[in-house]
Structure 1
Amino acid sequence: MNIKFWGSRGSIPVSLSWRDIEHKLAKALQTAEPHNLSSEKEINRFIKGLPFSIRGTFGSNTSCVQVKGEDKKQIIICDSGTGIRDLGASLAEAINRDGPQNFVIHIFISHFHWDHISGFPFFIPAYMEGCSINFYGYHDKLEEAMTFQQNFTNFPIPLSAMGADITFNVLKLDRTYEIGGVSIKGIKHNHPGDAFGFRFEQNNKAFVYSTDSEHYDDVDRDDYPFVQFFNNADLVVFDAQYKFADTLTSKKDWGHSSSMIGIELALRSGVKRLCLYHNDPASCDESLEQHAIDAQKYARRCPYPGAKNLEVFTAYDRLEIHI
């Protein structure tokens, strides 16, 4: 499976300001003096040697992750935050080239908060005649929520006026499904209004999408259900929006978690790679980069088998991972 991130921010999309760009340029120029930048090759080498927070950005879009299995014509998507707009533009090129009848789009919705659904009205394939789009989720009002988002008060084009063939499928937590050539099951999260995580498996590889979930004192129980749900996953995408101290105080009951909880759960579950996700919109690129560095250090010091082997990193828009 190949995992591609189209939206990594939590709560609300953010963008770089002119001050942010100016700061990045100043930081880059401060380290440029000893380098020979007389050729394009040397310039590119210098840029690639800069910290990611200076030469790049963790991105602006909200939750949207693409899962590519063996069948490239089966498009699997987790959430339709603002990142799905860019994903849609990319898909539209392939659909126009090969024909809409050759693609089936499967969108799994964790919950209905704006940062997880607000991009769908801008999803180009939804306007293309002949496209097949199937929504899946564990909320009974899946179709009602997605339809309401596009009533005339909220958006000028109703969902019923989109050109694609759109269906809605309510899943059950006690079942495992085969969709798009991938095995899928879910878990309920602690989040206002309820949210759900998804585990995707194919060819003995497992990817878990677990965002917008708060973990309370029962997280230490031996039978904590997330330990089994994460078990031996090759990659877990985990909500780490807040610092651990904030989850106990000012952000308690807000429905989000921290890197510390994610790392300990991953180590208890035998997870190979942990991706910190739902990035705080208040955090700049340098803060997010330092967050990942600190999280990796914490993982190394945890008294669990395999602590030295767990890879911990922060998601950014357009990041691709093969498992």
Structure 2
Amino acid sequence: MGMLVRFWGTRGSLPVAPRARAIEDKLVNALMRAQGRSFADEGEARGFVNQELRFGEGHTYGGATTCLEIEGADDSFFILDMGSGLRELGNDAFRRIAQQGRSRKYNFFMSHLHWDHIMGFPFFGPAFDPNAHIVIHSGHADCEAALRRQQEEISFPVAFDWLRAKIEFKVLSPGEPYNVDGIDVELMPQDHSHVSYAWKFRKNGKTFVFSTDAEHRMDDLEDKQAFETFFDRADLVVCDTMYSLAESITLKADWGHSSNVMAVNLCHGAGAKKLVLFHHEPTSSDADIDSLYDETVRYEALNRKDRTPLEIVCSYDSLELEV
């Protein structure tokens, strides 16, 4: 068995929700595209939505902030970051425990401690379960301080010490191999305020890399070599593609995020197999994200040369990918 990656939150910076007019615009567009057609049943109507509309026209990429899950560990939950998507994951974990008898151990792996990546933890139901065991792995020695601070009385009504789960913190060192419940784990520092960490997970010959909140510059050859080595022949790479290349080198330079172009370049250099566009800009509409995806696919094809094609996927809340 390999790994299954499930996306519970894919936005960056802060959670967003579509306004009423955005839903109206989607419905009007779908009706206009249908051109008065009638559908025999719900399945036929869904076929039209899924086959004839762009993803952003018939669906939404979602608005929850960073939270992913890996299925494939030895019974425990593997969770990457604690963005607002963590609330829904926690509710689903209760369902799976009741239906499947799953373990109540939760391994967290933190990219960094900015608010959009920790804000879901106070709403994580299993943290209130006295039979739960939560292990938080991080490259940051101040991880516990960050989580406690956001639950101080001035910010939140439930204190960290009121949580009933057994909670422990483990600080891991970059470049050192670890094995956590049957999955090999490694982390690497990234250029971001207060440092961010990329994570690599390996099991049964498959490699998954999670690299968000990292700024990559076109002329930084040392950074390029380091990340091509970390991404080397990965089966799946989730990459920070918050900006276009133009944004990342002009208005938003030094903001701590990267572009779709740099993600493709690094994956090409590393010989990675599949790239997932991630950490979507909160001001981007579904149509904007559709356009970024199209632009990325075109750029990859034009710059592929004699390489094996790099598969590109645009992440959305509820996406599942096999590794």
For structure 2, the residue ranges without an aligned partner over 5 or more in a row are none
Q: Write the distance in 2 (CA, Å) between the matches of 1:48 and 1:276.
A: 20
1:33 is aligned, of 32, 35, 38, to: 35
Equivalent residues in 2 for 1:38-57, closer than 5 Å? 38-49=40-51, 50-57=53-60
Q: Which residue of 1 aligns with 2:23?
A: 21
Q: Which residue of 2 aligns with 1:201?
A: 202
Question: Offset at 1:258?
Answer: 0.2
Q: Deviations over 1:290-317 (max 9, x none)?
A: 111110111001044325x211121100
Q: Deviations over 1:159-180 (max 9, x none)?
A: 1111111100011113111012
1:31 counterpart SS class = helix
Q: Deviations over 1:98-145 (max 9, x none)?
A: 667x23110111111111000000001111111011001001111111
CA separation of 1:221 and 1:287: change in aligned 2, threshold 3 A: same
Q: Which residue of 1 aligns with 2:71?
A: 68
Question: Offset at 1:146?
Answer: 1.1
Q: Write the distance in 1 (CA, Å) between the matches of 2:97 and 2:150.
A: 25
Q: Write the distance in 2 (CA, Å) between the matches of 1:220 and 1:246.
A: 20
Q: Which residue of 2 aligns with 1:322?
A: 322
Question: Offset at 1:218?
Answer: 4.6
Aligned length: 320
After superposition, the CA RMSD in angstroms is 1.6
Q: Write the distance in 2 (CA, Å) between the matches of 1:125 and 1:218.
A: 45
Q: Which residue of 2 aligns with 1:277?
A: 278
| More divergent stretch after superposition (49-58 vs 222-231) | 222-231
Q: Which amino acid aligns with 1:143?
A: E
Q: Write the distance in 1 (CA, Å) between the matches of 2:322 and 2:119.
A: 27
Q: Write the distance in 2 (CA, Å) between the matches of 1:222 and 1:54.
A: 37
Question: Offset at 1:219?
Answer: 3.7
Q: Which amino acid aligns with 2:147?
A: M
Q: Which amino acid aligns with 1:314?
A: C
Question: Offset at 1:95?
Answer: 2.7
Q: Write the distance in 2 (CA, Å) between the matches of 1:166 and 1:99.
A: 21
Q: Percent identity?
A: 36
Q: Which residue of 2 aligns with 1:286?
A: 287
Q: Which amino acid aligns with 1:165?
A: K
Q: Write the distance in 2 (CA, Å) between the matches of 1:41 and 1:221.
A: 52
CA separation of 1:91 and 1:31: change in aligned 2, threshold 3 A: same
Conserved 8 A contact 2:17-2:62: yes
Q: Write the distance in 1 (CA, Å) between the matches of 2:88 and 2:261.
A: 31
2:34 counterpart SS class = coil
Q: Which residue of 1 aligns with 2:311?
A: 311
Q: Write the distance in 1 (CA, Å) between the matches of 2:82 and 2:168.
A: 15
Q: Write the distance in 1 (CA, Å) between the matches of 2:106 and 2:236.
A: 22
Equivalent residues in 2 for 1:1-323, closer than 5 Å? 1-33=3-35, 35-49=37-51, 50-71=53-74, 73-97=75-99, 102-221=103-222, 224-306=225-307, 309-323=309-323
Q: TM-score, normalised by structure 2?
A: 0.95
CA separation of 1:222 and 1:285: change in aligned 2, threshold 3 A: closer
Question: Offset at 1:216?
Answer: 2.2
Conserved 8 A contact 1:268-1:304: no
Q: TM-score, normalised by structure 1?
A: 0.95
Question: Offset at 1:96?
Answer: 3.8
Conserved 8 A contact 2:104-2:131: no
Q: Which amino acid aligns with 1:55?
A: G
| More divergent stretch after superposition (82-91 vs 294-303) | 294-303
